[in-house]
Chain A
Amino acid sequence: MIERLQSIDRRIIYVLLILVIALALLKPIGLPVKVGPMTKSMYDAVDALPAGSVLWIGMDFNQSSKAEQYPMLSVILDHAFRKNVKVVSFAMWPNGGQIFDQLAAPVAKKYNKQDGVDYLNIGYKPGGSVALRAMVTDINTAAAGVDQNGKPLASTPLGQQVKKLSKDYVGFIVDIAAGDPGTTDYLNYVSTPEKIPMATAVVNVSVPGEMPYVQSGQYKGLMGGLRGAAEYEILARAPGKAASGMDSQSLGAALIVLFIIFGNVGYLASRGKK
C-alpha cells in the first residue's frame, strides 16, 4: 500500500497544486517574509544614491519571466523615483525596451516624472555585450543616436547629461536579468573595469550561480526571484504583486516537498519488500 505513494497520478498533484495556489491568491494567509541580507544590501545601495544621481537599469529579460521580474522593475523604479534618482535603462534583450516603457509609465505618473528628463529608455540595441561595452565609450554612438522610440538622445536633457556608461555619469547599476546576455556581461565589461558598483536582480534559477559574486563583494546585493522582489517591496514600503504572490509560492513549494517525501517513503517501502 505505502509503495503506491511513489506512483501517484501526476494529474492529482497538478490539481492539488492549482487549488493550493489559487486559494492562496484568493484568500492570502500572510505568511511572514523575512528580509534577507542580499536584498537588504541592494536596497541600501540604491537608497544611498543622492538625489539627481543616475541609476542604470539593465533590461535583460522578456515576458517569460514576467511573474518574477516585472515586480522587480516596478519596485526599483518606485524606490528610485521616490528618492529623485534619475534612471537610464538599456536592453540587451529585444523586448526589454518595450517592457520598460510599459512598467515605467504608471510609476512615473505616480511621482510626476518625465520621460527624457527624469528617466531615459535607451531601449534595445543589438550586439549584446559588444553594444554594452560600446556604451562605455559613447552612449550616443552605441545607441545609433536614438532611444527606444526613435527620439534623438541629444534632444533630451538626460540624454545630454549621461554621455557614457562610466563612473563619471552613472552612480549605480542594477541589471535585471533572466539569462545571457545579462549580469555577467555587466560584471565583466562594465562594473569591474569601470569600477561602477552594481547589483543584480535575477530569476530564482540563477540565484545559486550568482551568489558567489555577492559573497566576494563584486555585487553590492542581489534580488533573487519572487522572494527577493517581495523582500524589496517590504523594504521600499511599496507592496505589489511579488508580496501578494509569496503565499502561493511558499504553499506550492511546500506541497511539492510533501510529494517528494511521499515518493521517497514509497520507494523505501518498496525496497524493503524486495
Chain B
Amino acid sequence: MGANIFDPANLTGAIITLAVLSFLIKDNPVFDLFQHGFVGLYFAYSIGLTYHSYIRPTIVDDIVKKGHYSYVIPVILGLLVYFMFVPSMNWIARYPMSFWVGYGAGYILAFQPGTLMPQIYNTFIRFYGKATFLDNLNAILLFIGVITALAYFFFTVRKQGTAVGLAAETGRWVIMIALGAAFGSTVLYRITLFVGRMQFLLGDWLGLLK
C-alpha cells in the first residue's frame, strides 16, 4: 500500500485521530477544540437529517405538493408536545405522549411474544433429546442460571436461611459472571476500535502496512 500522507481526506482523518488520542496524555486545548467541533458537527448534521428525512418529506412533499391533508393530524399531534414548555397548559402535551405510548405498547405486544416464547421454551427443552454430555451440562447450567438469577430479584420474600436465599445468592454470582462477560466484550470492542484507528494511521495514511 502506498503512502497517502498529503491526501486531504487522510490528512484530516489523521490530524483528528491524533488530536483525540492526545487526551490519553492529558486534557488539552487541541482535544477540546476537536471535541467541541465534533459535537457541533453532529448537532448540525442531526438537524439537517431530521429536516430532510421527516419534516420536508411530510410537510413539503406529502401535504403541500401531493395534497395528503390527513397528514396534518399527526403533525398537529406532534406539535402539541411543545405545550410542555407552557406551565399553565402543559397537560395538553400528555395527549400526544399517551397516544405514542399506547401505539408503541400495542405494536410491541403484537410482535414480541413470537420472539420471546422460543427463549422461554429453549430454557427447558434442551434437557432431553439427542445431546452430548456437554450439551446436557450446558442445559443444566442454563436452567440453574435462569432460575437463580430470577430468584435474586424476589425482594418480597424472606431470604435469610431459606432455599430462596440460597438461590438468590447463587443468582448473584450468575449475574456477576454475565456482567463480567459483558465487560470483557466491551474491553475487546474498544481494543478493536483502536486497532482500526491504527490500521488507518499506519496503513491508509502512512502506507506502512502491506
Residues of chain A having any CB pair with chain B under 8 Å? 10-11, 14, 17-18, 21-22, 25-26, 64-68, 94, 124, 126, 130, 144, 184, 187-189, 192-193, 203-209, 212-213, 215-218, 225-226, 241, 244-245, 248-249, 252-253, 256
The answer, among B53, B54, B114, B122, for a CB contact under 8 Å with A216, is B122
Determine whether the beta carbon of B182 is less than 8 Å from that of A205.
yes
Q: Which residues of B contact A18 (CB under 8 A)?
A: 198
Q: How far does the alpha carbon of A257 sit from the alpha carbon of B53 in the complex, in Å?
A: 45
Determine whether the beta carbon of B49 is less than 8 Å from that of A205.
no
Determine whether the beta carbon of B24 is less than 8 Å from that of A245.
no
Q: Which residues of A contact B178 (CB under 8 A)?
A: 208
Determine whether the beta carbon of B195 is less than 8 Å from that of A226.
yes
Determine whether the beta carbon of B54 is less than 8 Å from that of A187.
no
Q: How far is the CB of B209 from chain A (nearest CB, A)?
A: 6
Q: How far does the alpha carbon of A217 sit from the alpha carbon of B122 in the complex, in Å?
A: 9
Closest chain A residue, CB of each to CB of B138: A215
Complex A-B: 30 CB contacts under 8 Å: A14-B24, A21-B194, A25-B195, A25-B209, A26-B208, A65-B193, A67-B199, A187-B115, A188-B108, A188-B115, A189-B111, A192-B115, A193-B111, A208-B178, A208-B182, A209-B182, A212-B119, A215-B122, A216-B118, A216-B119, A218-B115, A225-B188, A225-B189, A226-B195, A241-B199, A244-B209, A248-B191, A249-B195, A252-B191, A253-B187
Determine whether the beta carbon of B195 is less than 8 Å from that of A192.
no
Q: Which residues of A contact B195 (CB under 8 A)?
A: 21, 25, 67, 226, 245, 248-249, 252
Residues of chain B having any CB pair with chain A under 8 Å? 24-25, 49, 53-54, 57, 107-108, 111-112, 114-115, 118-119, 121-122, 178, 181-182, 185-189, 191-199, 202-203, 208-209
Q: How far is the CB of A185 from chain B (nearest CB, A)?
A: 9
Determine whether the beta carbon of A67 is less than 8 Å from that of B24.
no
> With A26-B208, A208-B178 known to touch, is A226 a contact of B119 (CB < 8 Å)?
no
Q: How far is the CB of A262 from chain B (nearest CB, A)?
A: 15
Q: Which residues of B contact A245 (CB under 8 A)?
A: 192, 195-196, 199
Q: Which residues of A contact B111 (CB under 8 A)?
A: 188-189, 192-193
Q: How far is the CB of B16 from chain A (nearest CB, A)?
A: 12
Determine whether the beta carbon of B181 is less than 8 Å from that of A253.
no
Determine whether the beta carbon of A188 is less than 8 Å from that of B192.
no
Chain A at the B interface: SS class: helix
Starting from the known contacts A25-B199, A192-B115, A256-B191, 17 additional A-B residue pairs (CB-CB under 8 Å) come to A21-B195, A25-B198, A25-B203, A26-B202, A68-B193, A68-B196, A130-B107, A188-B112, A203-B189, A205-B182, A205-B186, A205-B189, A215-B122, A225-B189, A241-B199, A244-B209, A245-B195
Q: Which residues of B contact A21 (CB under 8 A)?
A: 191, 194-195, 198
Q: Which residues of B contact A64 (CB under 8 A)?
A: 193
Q: Which residues of A contact B53 (CB under 8 A)?
A: 94, 124, 126
The answer, among B25, B108, B118, for a CB contact under 8 Å with A217, is B118
Q: How far is the CB of A131 from chain B (nearest CB, A)?
A: 10
Determine whether the beta carbon of A94 is less than 8 Å from that of B49.
yes
Closest chain A residue, CB of each to CB of B120: A216
Q: How far is the CB of A146 from chain B (nearest CB, A)?
A: 11
Q: Which residues of B contact A68 (CB under 8 A)?
A: 189, 192-193, 196
Q: Which residues of A contact B49 (CB under 8 A)?
A: 94
The 5 closest A-B pairs by CB, nearest first: A67-B196, A216-B122, A126-B53, A204-B189, A252-B191
